Amino acid sequence: MDQDLEYKIIKPDESLADFVEQFWFLKNHSDRDIETTGLPDGLVDIILNKSVTQPFHIIELGGLTEHENAKLPARCIMFCISFKLLAVEYVIHQPISDILNSGRFLPDDFWGFAESDFMDFEAFVDKASNKIKSLLPAEIDQRKRKLFNLVYQTNGNITIKELSEKVFWNSRQINRYFNQQFGISLKAYCTILRFRASLNHIANGKLSPEGSYFDQNHFIKDVKKFSGVVPKELSKNKNDRFILLSAIKDK
């Protein structure tokens, strides 16, 4: 990764694994803006952010379904909670269908966060984890929990019919739930997860379909759709433009 960029991931403890994918921070230590491309990952982010040109603020990003060109401002710092979709209903308590591929500003004291949290990332993770645990209800719909577990375990490589049969939930009701809560269909979400799963292979220079992909043309089509470039170009990741891929390479 670019020497000016610092990146770290902390995974949640087991009690939050159904709701949180990871906590991470990203810092641009340089005095220049850095061009980046965000890749779809099927997650919902709550980000604490500040830079030399932007005061402290908190935003919620509603799950990208397409790549997005952006700039990391000079001397910026971001602390982020990346949520799995089950958290939208049971932690965030507000659908993201209206902010798909966009976002909304949250109050600067959202969940008790403050600019001082930037002083210690591990302390931020503990604080955020405790807050999330306090928001979880006593009862979780087990059909939804099982559905999401199957979707994530298979990296989206499972049919809607099979999911419906395994969780005893009508496919129409599942898609209605997805569209109302997340603004996309379950099928579209599974496609994003298959793409995300392919990034690890691409980062390691494997440019043929593996795992969730069995067809070269379909593989190339999805990679280009979600990243804007073909697998070979994505694997080069010139100037660390693709932040998510850089993070995978650094693991």
CA-derived radius of gyration, the chain: 18
Q: Measure the CA–CA gap between 101 and 183, rounded to whole angstroms.
A: 10
Tens of pLDDT, residues 162-221: 999 999 999 999 999 999 999 999 999 999 999 998 888 888 878 776 666 667 888 888
Task: Write down the pLDDT at residue 248.
Answer: 66
Tens of pLDDT, residues 124-146: 999 999 999 999 999 999 999 99
* Banded model confidence at residue 80, pLDDT cuts 50, 70, 90: very high
Task: Write down the pLDDT at residue 209.
Answer: 67
Task: Write down the pLDDT at residue 21.
Answer: 96
Tens of pLDDT, residues 8-51: 999 999 999 999 999 999 999 999 998 888 888 999 999 999 99
Task: Write down the pLDDT at residue 5.
Answer: 86
Torsion of CA 28, 33, 39, 41, to 10 degrees: 40
